[in-house]
Amino acid sequence: MNKPAVETKPNIEVCDGNKAVAHAVRLSRPDVVAVYPITPQSAVGEWLSRWNDEGTLNAEVVRVEGENSSMGVCCSASLTGGRVFTGTSSWGLLFMMDGLHYAAGYRIPVVMTNANRETPGIFTIGNSSQDMWSVRDAGWIQVNVEDNQEILDAVIMAYRIAEDTDILLPMMVCYDGFYLSYRKDPLEIPAQDDVDAFLAPLKQSKRNIVTPDDPMVFGIPSFFPKDQGEGCTEFRYKHSAALERVKDKIDTVDKDFEAIFGRSYAGQIEAYRTDDADIVLVATGSVCGTAKVVVDKMRDDGVKVGLIKVRLLRPFPKEKIAKVLEGKKGIGVIDRSVCFGYHCGHLYMELKSALALEGLPTTLPTLNFIGGLANLDITVEQVETTINLTLAASKGETVEEVTWLSLEE
């Protein structure tokens, strides 16, 4: 394979999702990259290592011995002033759980990708959203994308969001493992000049770094319990407030991105054919592709259905979602994971909280569909089922609140 040429104009290349990540990272000019293999995202590290060894990427690539070390490498490289990247999936994501909290707690702008995959416990090697939802309380910014072009674009945008001094938080770009990581599409690979221009505003941002030239220690500078408690309270509040600021920031950055590259993902959520819809599906990730096809098909049959594609998972875009859902007659939420303890899916639980917090009527029929676990396809027929059941519920028929698609008891 030839070296990727340094592009001065966009280039079309057939890439899988992993190579899309690698291209985005290369174009974002990271200083330090930590790589460790895990299915289905190992090729991310392979491409970055290869390009670095061949000389088209000028980074320090650290081939670590585990994901917990990936996060250690990234955090300190960032604290000392570098731009960093690592990628992982499932077992690896969970193995760096202490590092995830550390990165967020210290407000370190690590950019990471996660190829969504089932978690350990049942020895599966297949897609689900169980891993990405499991770390939702670590304090990171999390987005989940639909297709490979969106992976590439979202990673570049992630640097603009994470490293922005209004934000300074780690950001995880999640993409469906197997479905996107291995699927190949013709992608537009942006020109280096354009990416440089897009990321240029970050050069003006000045964040505190650890350097012997101006000694500083990160952390709460006291061992007295009251000082620690008050210090921690202040840090936590500011962290949470910064996460709230991400909502507007992701919308703004999306517009800036569109101005240069001509592509937009609508920021926090994409509302698809929802304006005059009676019922709305809510989903996230690659299943949104299937859902859009089914929505179009059902629209042709006269069903007034739309789709909310949730891009931003943390912070959860409850205001935007509630605004779209106001006045609707039924909602169907598609989940690829199980929220243990609530006996439903994660997105469903998030959505129910959002609706309650935003003051939508609790009588609004909302249904949950759990499917696509461990690489089961969520089929066109299954999405049709979700729409039909949601339609029935919206008309007052009694429907089971949570339906496990593909469940054979």
Minimum distance between the CB of residue 40 and other proteins, rounded to whole angstroms?
A: 24
* Residue numbers 15-44 binding other proteins by CB under 8 A: 31-32, 34
Name the 3-class secondary structure at 270. strand
| Interface stretch with other proteins, choices 56-64, 273-281, 340-348, 401-409 (CB under 8 A) | 56-64
Q: How many CB atoms lie within 10 A of CB 192?
A: 17
Residues 29, 119, 210, 385: which binds other proteins (CB under 8 A)?
Answer: 210
Residues 21, 64, 283, 334: which binds other proteins (CB under 8 A)?
Answer: 64
Structure tokens at 364: 């609004």
Q: How many CB atoms lie within 10 A of CB 64?
A: 18
Q: Does 72 bind other proteins (CB under 8 A)?
A: yes
Minimum distance between the CB of residue 226 and other proteins, rounded to whole angstroms?
A: 16
Q: Does 63 bind other proteins (CB under 8 A)?
A: yes
Q: Within 277-338, where are the H helices?
A: 287-300, 318-325
- Nearer residue to other proteins within complex by CB, 59 or 331: 59
Minimum distance between the CB of residue 52 and other proteins, rounded to whole angstroms?
A: 12
Cis bond leading into 37, ω under 30°?
no
Q: Does 104 bind other proteins (CB under 8 A)?
A: no
C-alpha closest to that of 85 among 183, 163, 184, 167: 163
Structure tokens at 299: 């629209």
**Cα 65 from Cα 167, distance rounded (Å):** 30
Minimum distance between the CB of residue 299 and other proteins, rounded to whole angstroms?
A: 51
Q: Does 173 bind other proteins (CB under 8 A)?
A: no
CA count, 13 A, side-chain hemisphere, 236: 9
Sheet containing 32-35: give its strands across.
Answer: 60-63, 32-35, 84-88, 111-116, 171-176, 141-144, 312-314
Q: Does 70 bind other proteins (CB under 8 A)?
A: yes
Residues 219, 229, 327, 396: which binds other proteins (CB under 8 A)?
Answer: 219
- Nearer residue to other proteins within complex by CB, 75 or 180: 75
C-alpha closest to that of 41 among 132, 175, 158: 175
**Cα 253 from Cα 154, distance rounded (Å):** 10
Minimum distance between the CB of residue 221 and other proteins, rounded to whole angstroms?
A: 10
Residues 69, 134, 142, 382: which binds other proteins (CB under 8 A)?
Answer: 69
Minimum distance between the CB of residue 166 and other proteins, rounded to whole angstroms?
A: 24
C-alpha closest to that of 260 among 147, 169, 160: 160
Residues 215, 262, 302, 359: which binds other proteins (CB under 8 A)?
Answer: 215
Q: Classify residue 398 by burial, with Cβ atoms within 10 Å: 0-12, 13-18, 19+.
A: exposed
Footprint of other proteins on this chain (CB under 8 A)?
31-32, 34, 59-60, 62-66, 68-82, 84, 98-99, 102, 210-212, 214-219, 223
